[in-house]
Structure 1
Amino acid sequence: MISRRSTLMLLSGSLAAPQVALAATPREITWDDLIPPGVPYSEIIGQGEIDEINDTWNPIFDENATKLNKALDGAFIKMPGFIIPFDVSAKGVTEFMLVPYTGACIHTPPPPANQLVMVDTKTPWPSDDLWDPVWVIGQMRTQLQSTDLGQTGYAITAEKMEIYEW
């Protein structure tokens, strides 16, 4: 015969299990989710000027470019993007910028800060897969920081990464 105490412990454990399973499911987000509610995408681009010497377009962002979606701070997310590597070794990449399209920050002026994400991962991403789009899964933080390639508005500690399949 099972005691009343054992029954209560068994029931309380079974009630907690579904919540743990739900907590481990990442929220799938898109690049549009990085823009705070109420800020239209067209308002984060701003004006710009042509650098005739270097033959480039230099965007001039206003304050909307650094406005971040505070609801994502601490969220466990899954988002797609492309890798711009910072820390590459023989094992792969452990630190990189996640960007919304191929060549962002390299061939063109960088997107605004609220469209760039710094990623740290303990498990290196293979360097032979650098040009493939990826899913990054992990905890997101709102964090403005400057890099040589542009200012980023978000950071993710990646728990898992996988090839993005169309």
Structure 2
Amino acid sequence: MQSRRAFLATMAASAIVANVSPAVARDLLDLDWADLIPEGDTGQLMEQLRGLGVVQHNQLSTGFEQLEASGVTDAFDGKTVRLPGFVVPLDFSASGVTEFILAPFVGACIHVPPPPANQLVLVSAKKPYVMKDMFDPVEVTGVFGTSSNQTELAEIGYTIMSAKVRLHRP
């Protein structure tokens, strides 16, 4: 009986330390940006954008037209996922950012043309996220969905709602 209690206590402590319940941890999918590109979309335009790096607005010769996406994938709809990326704030206050675009690279939507909609995620944070630096990568964990959204910065193909946001530690 004692070993069962010790096992259960260890499991509970692990869940508290990880801040994720054992059931969620078991069902959590770690995604990469390539997972969001539907089959048949080569992603070559994304590679071209990544090569730009962070540039000043007046250095762009292509303008700020968003690249076309061939579509989105619904393979992860309703699943709890974790995805690393960079924050492009949309709604923020003194307490932090509550709504933002998660982008695959630094400067997307601000210093370079927006990636295709299938490479952008609209995130609604559970708690305001305090940004220290826009160049810091984050990881977002929450319920994933396919949903077309339009902001003044870009068209977005996905959402993660009630997300937990923290610094990404590769």
TM-score scaled by structure 1?
A: 0.73
- State the match for 1:102 in structure 2: 106
Give the conservation status (yes or no) of the 8 Å contact 1:56–1:108: no
89-98 or 35-44, which deviates more: 35-44
- Counterpart code for 1:105: C
Instruction: Tell me which amino acid in the other structure corresponds to 2:22.
Output: A
- Which residue of structure 2 aligns with residue 41 of structure 1? 43
Query: Following the alignment from structure 2 to structure 1, what is the Cα–Cα distance between the partners of residues 74 and 60?
Result: 36
Amino acid at match of 1:35: I
Give the drift of 1:122.
Answer: 2.4
Q: Which AA in structure 1 matches 2:74?
A: K
Is contact 2:123-2:163 (8 Å) kept? Answer: no
Quote the residue 2:33 is aligned against.
Answer: 31
Relative to structure 1, the CA distance from residue 155 to residue 125 in structure 2 (aligned partners, 3 Å threshold; closer, same or farther) is: same
Q: Which residue of 2 aligns with 1:48?
A: none
The alpha-carbon deviation at position 30 of structure 1 amounts to 0.5
The aligned residue for residue 86 of structure 1 is 90
State the Cα deviation string for residues 51-108 of structure 1 (Å, max 9, x = none): xx9954145744xx05111111112100000000011111100000000000001111
* Partner SS, residue 57 of structure 1: coil
Q: Distance in 2 between matches of 1:44 and 1:84?
A: 17
5+ residue gaps, structure 1, are 1-19, 46-52
* Identity value in percent: 40
Structure with higher strand content: 1
* 1:57 equivalenced with 2:62 (yes/no): yes
Q: Is residue 114 of structure 1 aligned with residue 118 of structure 2?
A: yes
Aligned residue in 1 for 2:17: none
Q: CA deviation at 1:159?
A: 3.3
Question: 1:42 and 1:103 mapped to 2: Cα distance?
Answer: 19
Using the alignment, how far apart are the partners of 1:159 and 1:144 within structure 2? 18
Partners of 1:88 and 1:127 within 8 A in 2:
no
CA distance in 1, matches of 2:59, 2:166: 36
The structure with the largest alpha-carbon Rg is 1
CA root-mean-square deviation: 2.5
Match of 1:124 among 113, 117, 128: 128
Distance 1:106 1:137, change over 3 A: same
| Paired position in structure 1 for 2:52 | none
Match of 2:13 in 1: none
Q: Contact 1:136/1:158 (CA < 8 Å) preserved in 2?
A: no
Tell me the CA shift for residue 154 of structure 1: 0.3
Shift of 1:162: 1.6
For structure 2, the 5+ residue unaligned runs are 1-20, 48-57
